[in-house]
Structure 1
Amino acid sequence: MPAADPDDLGRLGHAAQALLNAHRHLGAEHQALVEEDKQATAKERQGTLGRMHGQLRETAALIVHSLDKLATTAGLLRLGIDGQTAQDGDGRDYTPLPAAGSPEQMLLEACHTVVYTARHLAEAFEPTRKYPALAVPRCPGPTGTAIACLRQAVEALAGELAERGLAEESNQFTAATGILEELQARLLGTPVVPGPAGELSPEQVAAAILANPQIAAAAEKALRSAATAG
Structure 2
Amino acid sequence: MYLLLDIGNTREKAALFDAGSISALPQLTAESLQQLPLVAVYFACVANDSRLDSLKQKLELDHLPWRQISSEAQAFGVTNCYAEPHLLGVDRWLALLGAQQLFSRQSVMIVDAGTALTIDWLDENGLHQGGWIMPGLRLQQQSVVQQTAKVFNRELLDARMIPGRETISCLQNGCLAAVIGAIQQGWLLNKAECLILTGGDALYLKPQLADLAVSTEPLLIFQGLARYIDN
> Shorter-normalised TM-score: what interval?
under 0.3
Point out the structure with max Rg over C-alpha.
1
Which structure has more helix as a fraction of its residues?
1
Length-normalised TM-score, structure 2:
0.27
Say which structure, 1 or 2, has more relative contact order (CA 8 Å, 6+ apart): 1
What is the TM-score when the length of structure 1 is the normalising length? Answer: 0.27
